[in-house]
Amino acid sequence: MAITLRKPDEIAKLAKAGEAVGKTLKYLQENVKAGMTLFEVDAMGEEYLRSLGAEPSFKGLYGFPASVCTSLNEIVIHGVPTDYRLVDGDIVGLDIGSKMNGYYGDAAITMGIGEISTQDEALIKCSRDVLYEAIDSIKVGMRFKELTKVLEDGIRSRGFVPLRDYCGHGIGAKPHDEPNIPNYLEGKAKQGPKIKNGMVFCLEPMVCQKSGEPYLLEDKWSVLSEDDLRTSHYEHQVAVVDGKAVILTEV
């Protein structure tokens, strides 16, 4: 597995692409409300991202039809925007990719619409808190599988389970690159490649309630858990600089 080590000028470009994603997610979090359709959320996100000088990298990527993945309630990731109109009590995952000057940004949040249940609050808090715990744990010499174990242990310790078959990933001059970073450990943690200065990657805890086994809707994009319960997803893009992780997609 060849994991690219980025030079400082490349990391600076990745940081600009990541900043555009972070700003767009913040804008959506402040402005998405009950009564809006998922089509409108997608259009709002694309317009704002373009206003920052970035291209929406998801649009057309592998055939995806939109700029923002809008993952509603039971959909974990890759939700396709529709004419569904948001109502109080919904939760929606917003996942955005950008491209600027040949480099990519990628991050996601899950947000509540109006008042949400305590269980949905716990789901969202799990994915967000586990993400930051994992980022704080990163150090040079750590193995990626050890990072995966931090993610899985954090999810399971809160009473939830990680989605299987999908993962975080490297990012750079391609939207998805080596390494793959699952949220569940297979094999031993003390195996595989080590984290080094200059690596840039995305961590994205995908949290399910009872089962992590995935299935697709008829749109061939939207991923659900076989338990058909609500889910949550958070993601940040980080660069390893001077021995620790720096978040590139946080505003």
**Spatial separation of the C-alpha atoms in residues 158 and 154, rounded to whole Å:** 7
Structure tokens at 129: 């808190």
pLDDT on residue 206: 98
Q: Mean of the pLDDT values across residues 5-24?
A: 98
**Spatial separation of the C-alpha atoms in residues 172 and 11, rounded to whole Å:** 9
**Spatial separation of the C-alpha atoms in residues 216 and 223, rounded to whole Å:** 5
pLDDT on residue 48: 98
Q: Mean of the pLDDT values across residues 176-193?
A: 96
Q: In what order do the strands lie in the sheet with 232-233?
A: 161-162, 206-208, 232-233
The band of 244, judged by pLDDT with boundaries at 50, 70 and 90, is very high
DSSP 228: -
Write out pLDDT tens, residues 36-58: 999 999 999 999 999 999 999 99
Q: Is residue 195 pLDDT above 80, yes or no?
A: yes
pLDDT on residue 1: 61
Q: Is residue 67 pLDDT above 90, yes or no?
A: yes
CA-angle at 116, arms to 112 and 121, nearest 5°: 75
Q: Residues 185, 186, 188, 190: is their CA dihedral positive or negative?
A: negative
Write out pLDDT tens, residues 117-151: 999 999 999 999 999 999 999 999 999 999 999 99
Q: Taking the domain 8-247, which CATH number applies?
A: 3.90.230.10
DSSP 61: G
Q: Mean of the pLDDT values across residues 161-177?
A: 98
pTM reported for the whole predicted model: 0.97
